[in-house]
Amino acid sequence: MTSSYRPTAFEVAACWLPGLVPADPAPAATRRTTLRRTGEPLEAIKGAVRRAAAGRPVAVTFSGGRDSSAVLAVATAVAREDGAPDPVPVTFRYPGVAEADESAWQESVVRHLGLATWRRIVVGGGENDLLGEGARESLLRRGLLFPATMHVKDAMLRELRGHAVLTGEGGDEVFGDRRSRALLRVARGQGRVGTPRRAALASLLPGPGRRWREHAATARSTAALTWLTRGTTARLADEIARDAAAEPLSYARGLRWLRRRRASRVFLDTFGQVAAEHDVALAHPLLDDGFLGALGARHPWGFADRTAGMRAVFGTLLPDAVCARSSKASFNRAYLGAATRDFAVRWGGDGVDPALVDVGGLRAAWLSGFPPGPTSLLLQQAWLASVGAEAAR
C-alpha cells in the first residue's frame, strides 16, 4: 500500500506543491571531486543506468521526446558495452489524440539505435483516463496522490514486474531555462539589445528583486487558470515566485536546487512506491545525483539553449534532428477524456472548496475540448467526494 504525501486543499486546487526541502549535506571536497570521480556527463549517466539495472532486464518508458530518447540511447549504449540484452522501449499510443502522436519520432530513434524489440501499447477505452476504471480502483485503495497520473501507472507496471524501468523525467528542468541562461547568452555575444540583455541583468538582481519580477511573470500565467478564485491564483503566483527566486545563479548549484523542489521530491517518492508494489525498480537517470554533479562540473554555467545541452551530452548517440527538435506532444486529452466529461456533466459541485475554486469555471474547463491538466487533482478529489456521498445515502 502506498503511504505517500496527501496534498492540502490549496495544493489540490493549485495542482502543485510549492516549497523546497532542506538541502542534502554534500561536503565541499566531494563537490570538487565530482568530475574527477565520474568523468564526463555521458559517462556519469551511463553509471546511473548501470546502477539502476543491477542485473534486471531493462525497460525504458519511451514517448519519442528528446528526454526519453536520450535515456533509451544511453541504456542501449550501456547494454552493448556490457554485453547485456538491449533495453526494451515501452511506448503508449493514443488513437484519436492527434497531439499525442509522436510515432514518426519514435520510429526514427528506434531505427537509429537498431533495437529489435519494441513494446507498443495502444491505449483506448478510457484505460489512461484519470477517472477510468483503473484510476478509480487506485483512488479508492490509495486515496489522493500527487501527481494525479500516479493512479494510471498500475497497468504498465504490472506488465514490467521484475524489470528496471528507466524514465526521461527531469529533462525539461535539467536542460531548460535555468537562471544562468540569459547571462550566458549575453556573455557569448548571443543576446540582442533589448529583452535578452534585460533578462541577463534581471538574473543578477538580489532575492527581493527577483521575487518581484518572478511574481509579475507568474501572475500573468496563473490568470489563465480561470477555475481558481483570485485569492488562489494570487497565492499560487506568490508561492511559485518565492521558490523561483531561491534558484542559485550558477547552473551547477541550480541543478542541486532542482533536486530540492518539493513537488519533484514527492513525485519521485510516490512513483517509486507505486512501482515497488509491482517489484519494479524505477530510476530517473536525468535526475541522478552523479549525473547532475558531473554535468554541473563540466558546464558550470549551463547551456545557451536546450539543444546545445542535448548535443553536448547526447550528440554522439542520437540523430541531430532529435537533439534539436522543438516540437512537443501534449497528453491532456489522453488523461482527461470521456470519463472526465461524463463525471463533469453530472457533478453537483461537491468535493472542492469554493473559497479556492470557482465551481462553474471548473465544470466548464472539464467540458472544454482540451481539459486543462492542472485540474486533475480537483477532478479526482471531487470524484472521491461523490463516491462518499453516494455511500452515505
User: Residue 53 belongs to a domain with what CATH number?
Assistant: 3.40.50.620
Q: For residue 119, which of 53, 62, 49, 52 has the smallest C-alpha distance?
A: 62
Residues 310/70, Cβ–Cβ less than 8 Å: yes
**Beta bridge partners of residue 159, listed in sequence order:** none
Residues 284/171, Cβ–Cβ less than 8 Å: no
Indicate whether 256 belongs to any domain. Answer: yes
pLDDT at site 34: 47
- Across the range 61-71, mean pLDDT stands at 97
Residues near 293 by beta carbon (within 8 Å), at least 6 away in sequence: 31, 34, 35, 38, 44, 255
Q: What are phi and psi of 354, to 5 degrees?
A: -65, -15
Indicate whether 159 belongs to any domain. Answer: yes
User: How many whole angstroms separate alpha carbon 7 and alpha carbon 13?
Assistant: 10
Q: Is the pLDDT of residue 28 over 80?
A: no
Structural domain that includes position 282: 9-175+249-332
Q: Is the pLDDT of residue 275 over 60?
A: yes
Q: Give tens-digit pLDDT for 75-87.
A: 999 999 999 999 9
**In this predicted model, which residue has the larger pLDDT, 98 or 3?**
98
Element (H, E) at 326: none
User: How many whole angstroms separate alpha carbon 12 and alpha carbon 188?
Assistant: 42
User: Lowest-pLDDT range, 24-38, 119-133, 297-311?
Assistant: 24-38
User: How many whole angstroms separate alpha carbon 59 and alpha carbon 391?
Assistant: 41
User: How many whole angstroms separate alpha carbon 125 and alpha carbon 159?
Assistant: 18
Indicate whether 1 belongs to any domain. Answer: no
Element (H, E) at 138: helix 133-142
Indicate whether 205 belongs to any domain. Answer: no
Domains of the chain: total: 1
Indicate whether 367 belongs to any domain. Answer: no
Indicate whether 373 belongs to any domain. Answer: no
User: How many whole angstroms separate alpha carbon 375 and alpha carbon 372?
Assistant: 6
- Which residue's C-alpha cell is 470524484? 383
